[in-house]
Amino acid sequence: MPIFKTNPFGHILFIKRWLIRIFGVVSHGRYRRFNKLEIEGSEVIRQLPETNVLFISNHQTYFADVAAMFHVFNAALKGRENSIKNIGYIWNPKLNIYYIAASETMKAGLLPKIFAYVGSISIERTWRSQGKDVNRQVKMSDISNIKKALSDGWVITFPQGTTTPFKPIRRGTAHIIKTYKPVVVPIVIDGFRRAYDKKGLMIKKRNVLQSMVIKPPMEIDYENETIEQIIERIQFEIEQHPSHLKVISPEEFKKQEDELNKQRKFWS
In whole angstroms, give the CA distance from residue 118 to residue 124. Answer: 19
C-alpha distance from residue 187 to each of 8, 19, 216 (Å): 26, 25, 9
Confidence (pLDDT) at 105 = 76
Confidence (pLDDT) at 6 = 94
Are 56 and 157 contacting, i.e. CB atoms less than 8 angstroms apart? yes
Taking residues 33-50, what's their average pLDDT? 95
Are 160 and 170 contacting, i.e. CB atoms less than 8 angstroms apart? yes
* pLDDT class of 2 with cuts at 50, 70, 90: low
In whole angstroms, give the CA distance from residue 189 to residue 97. Answer: 18
CA 44, distance to chain mean position in Å, is: 16
At residue 36, does pLDDT exceed 70? yes
Stated length of the chain:
268
Q: pLDDT digits over 84-106, tens only?
A: 999 999 999 999 999 998 877 77
Confidence (pLDDT) at 75 = 98
In the chain, the amino acid numbered 188 is V
* pLDDT class of 266 with cuts at 50, 70, 90: very low
Confidence (pLDDT) at 109 = 79
Residue 110 has phi, psi (to 5 degrees) of -70, -45
